[in-house]
């Protein structure tokens, strides 16, 4: 029987651990908590987690050892318990040769449940089949996900100087925050910020002179979302 012990850490500011544990195989593995510190100990088996990602999301795994060196192996959603032993890790890292702490970042190229497996690298090396590494170990991990975003900007192709020109659009993948609308013609540069409402935005621009202006929307991202920018739209001002 596989035994998992969980250590929940706390401090004066309150609870900072998690009462969850990984699974003994890919099928049915629990979701890896995001933005939450986890410390877990396993008895004679690797620890499996699922991490749900959209295409383009960037995952960050900050992990560390407690005693023995710890490695992490990441597989895409199409790897199963029937194929993991013959499939190399898509992404991997180890605490070996470090101060005991390591970070692994990767970008999901397909959507779905990615498999994140932790194992004892003091006894087992990377390669296949790391999923059969039968050694007990304790590790710590905090996972972060930076969600992919993209912007669609709609703007008229013609306008008049000093007239109100409405541009609008949407940030796909984010619902709140703000975007910057930037426009330029020669040395003339301007920008304004406008809030997002359920991912949508609208702004009124006034171009001071005649000419062709390149207008772009920029979302600067936040702790959970990646930055993105729209394609430039050209507006001819008379």
Question: Which residue carries 């089949």 as its tokens?
Answer: 129
Which segments in the chain show pLDDT lower than 70?
1-20, 44, 126-132
Cα-trace Rg, the chain? 24
Q: Residue ranges of the domains in the chain? A: 4-146, 150-237
- Look up the CATH superfamily of 150-237: Immunoglobulins (2.60.40.10)
Which CATH topology does 4-146 take?
Jelly Rolls (2.60.120)
Looking at residue 129, what is its pLDDT?
61
CB crowding 21-56: b at 16 or more within 10 Å, else e: bbbbbbeebeebbeeebbbbbbeebbbbbbbebeeb
Tell me the C-alpha distance between 121 and 94, whole Å: 7
Q: Per residue in 54-70, pLDDT tens?
A: 999 999 999 998 888 89
- pLDDT for 20 equals 53
């Amino acid at each position: 029987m596989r035994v998992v012990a969980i250590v929940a850490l706390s401090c004066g500011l309150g609870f900072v651990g998690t009462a969850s544990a990984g699974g003994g195989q890919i099928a049915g593995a629990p979701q890896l908590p995001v933005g939450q510190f986890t410390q877990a100990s396993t008895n004679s088996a690797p620890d499996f987690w699922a991490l749900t990602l959209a295409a383009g999301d960037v995952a960050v795994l900050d992990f560390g050892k407690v005693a023995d060196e710890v490695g992490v192996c990441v597989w895409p959603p199409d790897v199963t318990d029937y194929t993991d032993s013959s499939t190399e890790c898509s992404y991997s890292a180890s605490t070996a040769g470090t101060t005991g702490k390591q970070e692994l970042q990767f970008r999901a190229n397909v959507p779905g449940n990615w498999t994140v497996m932790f194992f004892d690298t003091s006894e087992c090396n990377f390669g296949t089949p790391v999923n059969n590494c039968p050694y007990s170990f304790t590790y710590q991990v905090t996972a972060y996900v930076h969600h992919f975003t993209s912007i669609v900007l709609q703007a008229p192709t013609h306008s008049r100087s000093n007239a109100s020109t409405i541009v609008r659009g949407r940030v796909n993948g984010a619902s709140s925050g703000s975007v910057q609308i930037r426009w330029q013609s020669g040395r003339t540069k301007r920008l304004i910020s406008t809030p997002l409402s359920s991912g949508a935005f609208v702004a009124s621009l006034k171009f001071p002179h005649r000419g062709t202006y390149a207008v772009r929307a920029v979302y600067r991202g936040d702790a959970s979302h990646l930055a993105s920018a729209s394609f430039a739209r050209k507006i001819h001002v008379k």
